[in-house]
Chains A and B, each alone.
Chain A
Amino acid sequence: DIQMTQSPSALSASVGDRVTITCRASQSVSNWLAWYQRKPGKAPKLLLYMASNLQSGVPSRFIGSGFGTEFTLTISSLQPDDFATYYCQQYSSHPYSFGQGTKLEI
């Protein structure tokens, strides 16, 4: 099974900051990687798929990159609505797997 490891597990930042979250896979997932945002009491929201493709309706400040085993999610200028927990997910091979999450706090 492919293990996904995110870092950091928690991150404190301020509105307007640029932040980067890293996701590493235990083996290559090519670019079969998605990023989700999760807020308490709400379903996860797809931000990016195929590592760097922005989902419709998602602001362009969310930027994804990477290939193979190392990926990053960058938020170019944090907005108040961005404080949440972020998860990466590989869907290259079964069983699919998620990272453990990165909690972005004010």
Chain B
Amino acid sequence: QVTLKESGPALVKPTQTLTLTCTFSGFSLNTNGMRMSWIRQPPGKALEWLARIDWDDDKFYSTSLKTRVTVSKDTSRNQVVLTMTNMDPVDTATYFCARMPMAIAGAIDYWGQGTLVTVSS
């Protein structure tokens, strides 16, 4: 059974750095072709893709956020970590981690439940 769960602070102050952890089970990020992404959704707005990390440690980032976002993995702990610097109230959103297996050509088949992060002083 595949599960993903995001964890991290629910509230951060402007200018602070956000660190979110995705802990997953039921698959391995060591598997050839496996990828994982972070996506967010501000309240009342559309989904926004943030970053991707692959089984071979390749990484890809949103153009608008690439100077602020870093993604990393710890395969021994089945975790993927998203770091976003210089947080702003516009970054208030529900943040999701998600799995992208090559078996379905890289679409997202499993999502975490999401974690709401509010940026406010």
A residues adjacent to B (C-beta < 8 A): 1, 32, 34, 36, 38, 43-44, 46, 49-50, 53, 55, 87, 89, 91, 94-101
Contacts of B60 in A (CB 8 A): 94-95
In the complex the two chains form, is A96's CB within 8 Å of B52's CB? Answer: yes
Contacts of B37 in A (CB 8 A): 96
In the complex the two chains form, is B108's CB within 8 Å of A50's CB? Answer: no
In the complex the two chains form, is B113's CB within 8 Å of A50's CB? Answer: no
Q: Chain B nearest CB: distance from A32 CB in Å?
A: 7
In the complex the two chains form, is B46's CB within 8 Å of A95's CB? Answer: no
Listed from nearest, the 3 A-B pairs whose CB atoms lie closest are: A49-B107, A43-B111, A34-B107
In the complex the two chains form, is B108's CB within 8 Å of A36's CB? Answer: yes
In the complex the two chains form, is B46's CB within 8 Å of A87's CB? Answer: yes
